[in-house]
Amino acid sequence: MKSAGRDRESTLFLTEQGVKAVRQIKLDLKSWRMNRLGIPQERIAMRLGETRDVIRNHLGEMLILTKSPNTDLSRGLTIPQVADRRHCLRNGLMLEQ
């Protein structure tokens, strides 16, 4: 008899995804805080066990996402355009010109 709900493999997969997401969030917070304190990227990478290139790229992505939507609105973009732009930036998609 088969039980209802998820099987063991899919549950383990979802748990693994959750662990990866938590690790990424912790990396986000730690690298952002260290960067705001003025710690060089090389030292951040060493402390977090990542390469400098990973930290550089990661901080660059975070910088794009931290810009206020009001900046885009003040440039004349509509709310749907700002929402599309932020969605594309978060997911690494190309913006249409």
pLDDT tens by residue, 37-66? 999 999 999 999 999 998 988 888 777 666
Q: 16 vs 41, which has greater pLDDT?
A: 41
Q: How far apart are CA 55 and CA 29, in angstroms?
A: 12
pTM score: 0.50
Query: What's the mean pLDDT in 2-14?
Result: 60
Burial (Cβ within 10 Å: 0-12, 13-18, ≥19) of residue 72: middle
